[in-house]
Chain A
Amino acid sequence: DARVTQTPRHKVTEMGQEVTMRCQPILGHNTVFWYRQTMMQGLELLAYFRNRAPLDDSGMPKDRFSAEMPDATLATLKIQPSEPRDSAVYFCASGLGGAVHGYTFGSGTRLTVV
């Protein structure tokens, strides 16, 4: 089965450090999302791309977060500087243009900022 690959699976870092999370969407999928999951807020949409172009990143704290798609096989989410409140599971999901087939999620990156 085709899958969305996220790395790293776990990341522990100190406050103030830069964190980069990577996502390889399913080949041929042209829509990529980044979600953050916490116990308090649940699943929140941070950003999404269509054909590598950012369409919406209104859910993302702009001062420290950035999301990019340097090519069709790689999406990145960067936090600089990281803070303890950024501790969460970050999911990448990909899909075809329409939502009819739903979206396939990666296994997530569990980020812990100490």
Chain B
Amino acid sequence: AQTVTQSQPEMSVQEAETVTLSCTYDTSESDYYLFWYKQPPSRQMILVIRQEAYKQQNATENRFSVNFQKAAKSFSLKISDSQLGDAAMYFCAFVNSGGGADGLTFGKGTHLIIQP
């Protein structure tokens, strides 16, 4: 079974600064997808960014980027120019490819606080 570990229960960053959230995972599969989801107080789960394991290039979405290290099974999220609206729980998630035969496996989450 796959496991996803987020070792930082809480992180704090000053507005406009950069913060990196850590995620490691364990799998015996070679083909899979990784995601970061954001959950603000409204509790809506919002997809922030995704990464295909077969792609070496790190995914980027505006101020959000990832550092994907396949050999190390590491998938960190970097948020640049942090904004107050970025305050939320962030969840790292894993799913096997092959038609998405398994559901997403989530980490426990990191609570991100933005200091004005």
Contact = CB atoms under 8 A, between A and B. Distances in A.
Given A89-B43, A107-B44, A100 B106 contact: no
B103 A56 contact: yes
Interface stretch (A14-22, A42-50, A68-76, A79-87): A42-50
A112 B100 CA distance: 31
B103 A95 contact: no
A101 B43 CA distance: 21
B33 interface: yes
Nearest to A103: B104
B35 to A, nearest CB: 5
Contacts, number: 58
B76 to A, nearest CB: 18
B41 interface: no
A24 interface: no
B101 interface: yes
Contact of A33 (B44, B103, B108): B103
26 contacts: A31-B100, A33-B103, A33-B104, A35-B103, A42-B109, A43-B91, A45-B103, A45-B104, A45-B105, A48-B103, A55-B101, A56-B102, A89-B43, A91-B45, A93-B45, A93-B104, A97-B99, A97-B100, A99-B95, A99-B100, A100-B33, A102-B33, A103-B104, A107-B42, A107-B43, A108-B45
Which 5 pairs, one residue from A and one from B, show the smallest C-beta to C-beta distance? Answer: A105-B45, A99-B100, A45-B103, A43-B106, A99-B95
Interface of A: 31, 33, 35, 42-43, 45, 48, 55-56, 89, 91, 93, 95, 97-105, 107-108, 110
Interface of B: 33, 35, 37, 42-47, 50, 52, 91, 95-97, 99-109
